[in-house]
Amino acid sequence: MEATKEAVRGVAPPGQREVRQQHAKRPPFWRKAGRIVWRILRAGLIIGICYVILMPLMTKISSSFMEVRDMFDVTVRWIPRHFTLENYKVVWEAMKYPTAFWNSLKLSLIVAVLQTFSSALVGYGFARFKFKGSNLLFALVLVTLLVPSQTILVPLYLNFRYFNLFGLIPGQGLNLLNSYWPFILIAMTGAGMRGGLFIYVMRQYFRNVPKELEDAAYVDGASPLRTFFTVMLPGAVPSMVTIFLLSFVFQWNDSTLTSVFMGNEVLLPWTLRTLADTLGARAEYASLVNNTGMLLFMAPLLILYFVMQKHFVEGVERTGIVG
């Protein structure tokens, strides 16, 4: 009876009112279709990017287990017809992998640790201490990113070949080549590979930290250096982890500076570069051994990334580059 009265008065009953409200909340057809099309395009874009990134890696993994005759077999694409581990055995011995791995690991760890600390210290100085010419100095730090490392190889070589510490060491100085000292001195002074980028990242992070934290430490009688170590540095751990990983990867992959400063040392980048020549391999077999060597070269970096992935992503989010 009530529903009939509401219908006569032009008012929809409660049940019909809810149905109309549900229909009103539904998006129009074209808006819904647009969302579906966008999801399809986004999925296709992500799949395409993943394919571009992973396809070379999958190709190397597949070919590393092949024999030479599988390369000329048109029926073989991804799965080898003649599965073998001989490539790994040959490459392991030719690259002197245990020795080269240990030497590369020591050098990369030393450089990464020193460069992380020096970048944090210099970045904190640029972020918190203003002095005459500080902006110009920071601009010069950024300019170093534009200078190719090959342009300063000769001055660096001569500097470490006749190292005299600004003339304090008499005679021809010290010969620091074929040692870790060139890398240690470069890293601890914040002048290592991509040092300008790392200093920029740390500066941006410290600029976004509230100054009240430092003021509270100063009120308690802490010096600027103690404030840096006890207050600022613990909060910068995610950013420092990111810099450590990037510095480690850059040093691990470097073959230019290592060949100039440590030409007599057995390191993975150099043994990988000369792998095919060492084996005297033909062109078709050189492709197999090079792919196998690249996998052995990349394996530690992949393991390191999977272990530190969470910290790396967190560090990238908190670096303050967009600030």
pLDDT mean over 81-91: 88
| Residue of higher predicted confidence among 124 and 278 | 124
Residues 45 and 100 occupy one common structural domain: no
Residue 313 lies in a domain: yes
pLDDT band for 234, please (50, 70, 90 cuts): confident
Residues 36 and 134 occupy one common structural domain: no
Residues 40 and 150 occupy one common structural domain: no
Residues 209 and 268 occupy one common structural domain: yes
Condensed to tens digits (0 to 9), the pLDDT of residues 267-285 reads 898 888 888 787 776 767 7
Using left for φ > 0, alpha for ψ between -120 and 50, and beta otherwise, residue 83 falls in beta
Q: Angle CA(4)–CA(7)–CA(9) in degrees, nearest 5?
A: 110
Condensed to tens digits (0 to 9), the pLDDT of residues 128-167 reads 888 888 889 898 888 888 888 778 888 888 888 888 887 7
Report the pLDDT value the prediction gives residue 20, as an integer from 0 to 100: 56
d(CA 103, CA 99): 6
Structural domain of residue 296, as residue ranges?
86-318
Report the pLDDT value the prediction gives residue 257, as an integer from 0 to 100: 87
| Residue of higher predicted confidence among 278 and 51 | 51
Report the pLDDT value the prediction gives residue 196, as an integer from 0 to 100: 87
- 316's CB contacts (< 8 A; 6+ apart) are 242
| Residue of higher predicted confidence among 169 and 113 | 113
d(CA 200, CA 122): 9
Residue 45 lies in a domain: yes
Residue 67 lies in a domain: no
Residues 93 and 14 occupy one common structural domain: no
| pTM for this predicted structure | 0.80
**Rounded to whole angstroms, what are the CA distances from 260 to 12, 97, 194, 265?**
86, 21, 18, 11
Residues 126 and 267 occupy one common structural domain: yes
In this predicted structure, the answer to whether residue 170 has a pLDDT above a threshold of 90 is: no
Q: Quick check: 214 and 228 in contact, CB under 8 A?
A: no
In this predicted structure, the answer to whether residue 10 has a pLDDT above a threshold of 60 is: no
Residues 101 and 43 occupy one common structural domain: no
**Percent of the chain predicted with pLDDT > 90:** 19
Condensed to tens digits (0 to 9), the pLDDT of residues 173-213 reads 888 888 889 999 999 988 888 888 899 989 988 888 888 88
Residue 72 lies in a domain: no
Residues 52 and 99 occupy one common structural domain: no
* Mean of the per-residue pLDDT values of the chain: 83
Residues 166 and 249 occupy one common structural domain: yes
- The token duo for 251 is 């040093």
Number of domains in the chain: 2
Residue 102 lies in a domain: yes
d(CA 248, CA 241): 10
Q: Domain containing 168 — which CATH number?
A: 1.10.3720.10
Residues 145 and 46 occupy one common structural domain: no
pLDDT band for 316, please (50, 70, 90 cuts): low
Residues 107 and 177 occupy one common structural domain: yes
Separation of CA 102 from chain center:
21
Residue 80 lies in a domain: no
SS3 letters for the chain? CHHHHHHHCCCCCHHHHHHHHHHHHCCCHHHHHHHHHHHHHHHHHHHHHHHHHHHHHHHHHHHHCCCHHHHCCCCCCCCCCCCCCHHHHHHHHHCCHHHHHHHHHHHHHHHHHHHHHHHHHHHHHHHHCCCCCHHHHHHHHHHHHHCCHHHHHHHHHHHHHCECCCCCCCCCCECCCCCCHHHHHHHHCCCCCCHHHHHHHHHHHHHCCCHHHHHHHHHCCCCHHHHHHHHHHHHCHHHHHHHHHHHHHHHHHCCHHHHHHCCCCCCHHHHHHCHHHHHCCCHHHHHHHHHHHHHHHHHHHHHHHHHHHHHHHHHHHHCCCCC
- Of 41, 57, 73, at which residue does a domain stop? 57
In this predicted structure, the answer to whether residue 67 has a pLDDT above a threshold of 70 is: yes
Residues 48 and 104 occupy one common structural domain: no
- The token duo for 285 is 């077999």
pLDDT mean over 25-47: 81
Residue 81 lies in a domain: no
- Of 57, 73, 100, at which residue does a domain stop? 57
pLDDT band for 168, please (50, 70, 90 cuts): confident
